[in-house]
């Protein structure tokens, strides 16, 4: 992924991170420097816009920290009374980024537990269930977005970015475990595409604008 050069994960030792092996490939010629420009939290911002979630939009318009918002709105300090502030903030980031494309609550809860464990923060299933439920309640526009995507899959058989690029993801009619499993996987991809696709569109247009400016 040359559009975003990888960085150390938040739980890794920055001096010994696996991504450093890739970053060594990006070395400027002598006398030159590489400049990195980044849209901060672009996918979360795009989600706020597309989902039309009042809480997320208000936080971004007021330039508030979205992770601190999640700590407060999802009651993470109440759910993790014995955790230190760094661990709670790590969980807030995991909840915001890790569950954004998980419309199924059970899957989202599993992702939170698994990713927290990778980040050396260990929570119970009951805690992750409660955290996901609180996040859904805090950002109801996101849940409405999930349901809209499912409706688009059933009614028109595709989803699209804000710029009109489409991905065809028809909902499969029928019963049975395999049908449900396939539909849930398709639903997850369909939730993802308008957000990541729109973010990619914006960045590609920005790259062209930067090139023209230079």
For the chain, list residues with pLDDT below 50: 1
pLDDT value at position 117?
A: 86
pLDDT value at position 88?
A: 85
Report the C-alpha gap between 109 and 124 in whole angstroms.
Answer: 10
Report the C-alpha gap between 15 and 7 in whole angstroms.
Answer: 11
Scan for tokens 């065809």, then name that residue: 168
pLDDT value at position 199?
A: 93
- The model's pTM is 0.81
Q: 139 is written with which tokens?
A: 């950002």
Going from the C-alpha of 101 to that of each of 83, 173, 179, the distances in angstroms are: 26, 22, 20
Residues 196, 99, 207, CA angle at the centre, nearest 5°? 20
Helical packing angle, 54-61 and 140-155, nearest 10°: 120
pLDDT value at position 2?
A: 56
């Amino acid at each position: 992924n040359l559009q975003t050069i990888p960085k150390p994960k938040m739980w890794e030792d920055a001096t010994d991170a696996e991504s450093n092996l890739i970053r060594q490939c990006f070395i400027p010629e002598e006398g030159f420097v590489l400049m990195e420009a980044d849209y901060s939290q672009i996918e979360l911002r795009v989600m706020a816009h597309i989902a039309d979630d009042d809480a997320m939009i208000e936080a971004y318009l007021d330039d508030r920290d979205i992770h601190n918002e999640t700590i407060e709105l999802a009651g993470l300090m109440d759910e993790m009374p014995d955790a230190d502030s760094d661990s709670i903030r790590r969980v807030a980031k995991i909840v915001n980024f890790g569950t954004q494309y998980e419309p199924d609550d059970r899957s989202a809860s599993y992702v939170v537990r698994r990713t927290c464990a990778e980040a050396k923060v260990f929570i119970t299933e009951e805690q992750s269930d409660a955290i996901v439920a609180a996040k859904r309640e805090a950002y109801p526009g996101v849940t409405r977005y999930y349901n809209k995507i499912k409706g688009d899959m059933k009614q028109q058989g595709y989803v699209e970015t804000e710029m009109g690029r489409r991905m065809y993801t028809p909902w499969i009619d029928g019963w049975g475990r395999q049908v449900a499993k396939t539909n849930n996987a398709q639903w997850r991809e369909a939730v993802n595409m308008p957000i990541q696709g729109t973010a990619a569109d914006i960045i590609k247009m920005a790259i062209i604008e930067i090139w023209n400016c230079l």
